[in-house]
Structure 1
Amino acid sequence: MVDRFYEPSTVQCPYPYYEQLRAEQGVHQLEDEDVFLVTRHADADAVLSRVDDFSNKAGPGLRQKKLMGAEAALPDAKYRVVRTLLTNDPPSHSRFRKLVTRAFTARRVKALEPAMRGIVDDLIDAFPANGRVDFVRDFAKPLPLIVIADFLGVPRSDLDVFEKWSDDAAEVLGGTLTPERSLECQQSLQELLGYFDQKIAERKLDPADDFLTMLVEAVDKDEKPLTVQEMLAISYVTLVAGNETTVNLISGMMLLLQQNPDQLARLRADRTKIPVAVEEALRLEAPVQGSVRLCKADTEIAGTPVPQGSRVLIVAGAANRDAEVFPDPDRFDVDRPNSRHHLSFGKGIHLCLGAALSRQEGTIALEHLLDRLDSFEMPADFTPAYKDNAVLRCLLELPLDVRKAGS
């Protein structure tokens, strides 16, 4: 089979390619790369569970070496991202996860609901009077960015630079980076870490009721606190993961509603189906299309030999459309009974810590959009376009004509 994973046409719509991989091989090695794609649900589920065989220290994304060339290091870099949550293994990973989980309990996430509802209403209030919005720019991007900034405890006045830092970090995960662009993204990361370094120093002197203060005050069972480097790494991961994934969830969900007006009508008639609609959006348009693991020893996946040192991309975007698990898998169905069996948030010890937060944002957003807008319609001639990123599913824009209730 000819590799099409990085081709622009595949990035724009990867699902036919995924379907071909599932049907022909299930596990597929990319040409000229030590990367194996795992595309069937059962195989992906199994790899996520084999934490002794597959390490998370591969890094969170893919870097196309043949496109990037020899990547130059940033001169005089002051900060580096140490391994804490996203690119770590037990027992070290277990320590960090236990400390950070305290900030993502069901009670704490539920306590954020009133503020989330206020943010959603403010964004809807700000929709232009002429009724034409870019849903990505005007709603899907600012909502999670404001939520995660408030959660971290940083001022909303810094949202513009936060967005830039987050976008640059996301580009590294699956974009086609030139050496020059790679250096720009490294510089952006240094700026972000320097910003958090300053904020953490402020919290040590003046604690607040926020995530940064929780990191400063956190101690493990041996009364050992987090180092500044560890706090910086966790703050960085929280910003990027909490922002980028939810942007993609909310924008992808709205696009699916536009493409499936019968399902939108079902939601308007019965709001209890909203949670399933959120899960279906996560399943059909996985915000993160794949997660990377490093093979720790010679092994095999579904009969395919995988050598030690190889990288394995667990392609959630493919596994989530496996007909063996999801009948009529390409259909957006707000009555689907097993939508939550998707792998978009991972599984097991590396299940996304912010999954409940992201689900809550998606649910509240859809509730208020349905309550406050009598209609929201995409132009008939609109063709969706996505960022050149093989790992993150980033819709560039989504024009809508909206009519507020009572107008």
Structure 2
Amino acid sequence: MGAFVADRGWETLDAEAWEGPFRVTDMLGLSGLFLSMAFALGGWVLGGRAVIAAPLVLAYAAVPHTVDHYASAWVWWGGAAAAVVWAFVQAGASVRQLRAVRALARRSDTGRTVELDEASLAVVRTAGRRGLYWAWGLSGVAALGCAVTAAVLVTELGKTAEELDSASVSDVLATGAAAAAILAIGQWVHCAWRAIARTAVGQVIWQVPVGPGPVWGLSSPREGQAGMLAFEQARSIPGCSCIEDWRRANPDADAESMEDYGVPAAEYCPVHGIDQINALSPERFIARAAEPWLWDPDAMDLSPTRPEENRPLLVGFAGHAHLGFPARFKNDQVDLDPADSFFLEERTSADNEADDSDWDAPRRPTKGVFDRIDLRPAGLAGDAVRYRHGRAWFDSDTADDSSSGAQA
């Protein structure tokens, strides 16, 4: 808008896009305008990479406007300078964050080392190469776009707007080539910064809390499983009526959701009902305590005597430069799930302020208690409280401690 006002663009709305023979400067000027408008409308899609792209886009538009002595040249250069300043401000914030994460990693080091299996190592290596593939791919598209633009430009140079029907093709091609080049630069910078961050912090496996943790998208290992059965398990157990009872209670529900997310354990199921829970001897209940169907859906997560077993992990977290890979402790090994990494998003201070920190978890009923069973023999820090008319609740006697890290 500032450039339009500086050039008094309303006075030439009906004029041709260029005057006289078509020049390289004309192509760059039109291309710069197209690219800047596209960036203004859709630059938000780039996320953090927009900080790198903004000064490049504005400088790309400023050069031809300066060569042709447009009054708006100072507007373009001023915008580019402001974008550079903002980029340096963000770079400084990134450096400070990296130092803070590195210091936290050193302070939180438990001295424990854990080996990643070959499959997990392959996931980490593949993810690192994926960013480089994008950088090389965008660079290739930019090079090809420049070559095609140059070939078309040769056929348009020297022609008037009337000869080209007031429409040049090379400026459109140049816009695409410039966009690919700027995206490639942003991707290369991102890859370089991620490599620096991962090297500075080290290959740390972080134990992080689910709620106020550094990223969105993490969940407790048992979140949403209480009171549920896997569909295949419910279907394969003779006498189980959970699937039938669920369909009778939800005749219009989508059956695929049951197959994907599981089946609620039915209260009157001959195999998984409440009577069957209370019929288990304490020893038998302890042996089966990890089975989700035993527990009320509102019951809190089970708290192992080894807290790390109930916490999500982040492998290689190094700040916003690299959010890491979600993982779990499983049989004293780190089990990494590559699919979950696509759902991770950085958690900002504004996100933390927006959280409803006053929310209280549901509390177990105080009446109708059938018995209490000490679950410490099962490696769980608390008791199971069974009820005459409901599923069991977990009564924990431990508090969640602070997050820590282990070296991979």
TM-score, normalised to structure 1's length? Answer: 0.22
TM-score, normalised to structure 2's length? Answer: 0.22
Greater relative contact order (CA < 8 Å, ≥ 6 in sequence): 1
Which protein has the larger Cα radius of gyration, Structure 1 or Structure 2?
2
